[in-house]
Amino acid sequence: MRKTTMDEMTEKEKAARGLLYNASYDKELIDERAYCKALCYEYNQLHPAKIVERTALIQKLFGKTGGSFLIEPPFICDYGYNIEIGSNFYANHNCIILDEAKVVFGDNVMIAPNCGFYTAGHPLDAERRNAGLEYAYPIKVGGNVWIGGNVVVLPGITIGDSTVIGAGSVVTKDIPSGVVAAGNPCRVIREISDEDKKF
């Protein structure tokens, strides 16, 4: 079986493989982003009482949704179909997900206001960056995770189950399960223990 060369791949296929691709001038990706932005705009204009309509729009937008979920507007993403959420998912206001690659959340995830999940990055070399090239690495957030306000999660990061990320953190490396982590760059502070059940 012959391997597909870089020249034969679409920009979308390159992105899915973690290769440099051009999102700025590729019609397929531009059209997909425009469709997504229109759905996000529609979602963000809905009256807060229109829960059924809000739920239906997110289900139309995302690649996968679990059981119950609530995402407070305004919410913004780039493609939508790369986002998967588990059951009992909650995202507070001003959540931004740049889902050029997969962004997967487990069950029982809580996200505080003003958080960003960015799968997209750009070359350090200015010439390639100015040519519109970028890369995208997936983000995975485990189950039973609480993410504090104003947290930024960078491309390629995995956050383990039952972990808490402190407010204002910039997550630049993987964070294991069952810990409290915070800071810029985000680092493990301590494990979560049975003592925490008393608080």
Full 3-state SS string of the chain: CCCCCHHHCCHHHHHHCCCCEECCCCHHHHHHHHHHHHHHHHHHHCCCCCHHHHHHHHHHHCCEECCCEEECCCEEECCCCCEEECCCEEECCCEEEECCCCEEECCCCEECCCCEEECEECCCCHHHHHCCEEEECCEEECCCCEECCCCEECCCCEECCCCEECCCCEECCCECCCEEEECCCCEEEEECCHHHHHC
Query: What value does the mean pLDDT take over residues 154-179?
Result: 98
Query: What local confidence, expressed as pLDDT, does residue 67 receive?
Result: 87
Active site (annotated) includes residue 47: no
Higher-confidence residue of 194 and 109: namely 109
CATH superfamily for domain 11-140 = Hexapeptide repeat proteins (2.160.10.10)
Q: How far apart are CA 22 and CA 74, in angstroms?
A: 28
Residue 129 has a CB neighbour count (10 Å cut-off) of 12
Worst-scoring range by mean pLDDT, 29-38, 154-163, 168-177, 188-197?
A: 188-197
What mean pLDDT do residues 15-27 have?
A: 93
Give the whole-angstrom CA distance, residue 144 versus residue 166.
15
Structural domain spans, the chain: 11-140
Catalytic residue, candidates 93, 122, 140, 187: 122
Instruction: Characterise 76 by phi-psi region: left (phi > 0), alpha (psi -120 to 50), beta (else).
Output: beta
Binning pLDDT at 50, 70 and 90, where does residue 1 land?
Answer: low
